[in-house]
Amino acid sequence: MKKQLGIPEIRDCLHVLADLEVAAGRSAQGALLHYLAEATRRRRAVRRAPVQRAARPPRKLVDAYIRNHPGADYMAIANAFGTNVGRISEVLSPP
């Protein structure tokens, strides 16, 4: 059983076939094969949305909220400040 080819190996094979086509006088077919080989390259990563970082509330405000709502869990605190649980955990972790 033959080893399965990956995209880079397939691209290299297409370039070799394209060169053979050009050498045989079929430059249009060779150019097409070169074009198809290059089409297998990965496109550059493009950020589609702006980075949004959840706001980190001040420690004093979080402490005051906890005093006024002693049974509140991290999710309730995060919802009260419009942030996520991770930010609340960062605020409440010891320095």
Is 48 inside a domain boundary? Answer: no
Whether 20 is in a domain gets the answer: yes
In the predicted structure, residue 27 carries a pLDDT above the cut 90: yes
What is the domain extent for residue 29?
7-38
* pLDDT for 1: 53
**Does the pTM exceed 0.85?**
no
Segment 20-43 shows an average pLDDT of: 94
Q: How far apart are CA 5 and CA 36, in angstroms?
A: 16
Residue 29 pLDDT level (bands cut at 50, 70, 90): very high
Q: What's the DSSP call for residue 1? A: -
What number of other Cβ atoms are within 10 A of residue 83's Cβ? Answer: 19
For residues 87 and 52, give the distance between their C-alpha atoms in angstroms, rounded to a whole number. 13
User: ∠ CA(24), CA(29), CA(34), 5° rounding?
Assistant: 105
Mean pLDDT of the chain: 90
Answer yes or no: are the C-beta atoms of 65 and 77 closer than 8 Å.
yes
Average pLDDT over residues 64-93: 93
Please give the average per-residue pLDDT across 47-73, as a whole number.
88
The verdict on residue 22 lying in a domain is yes
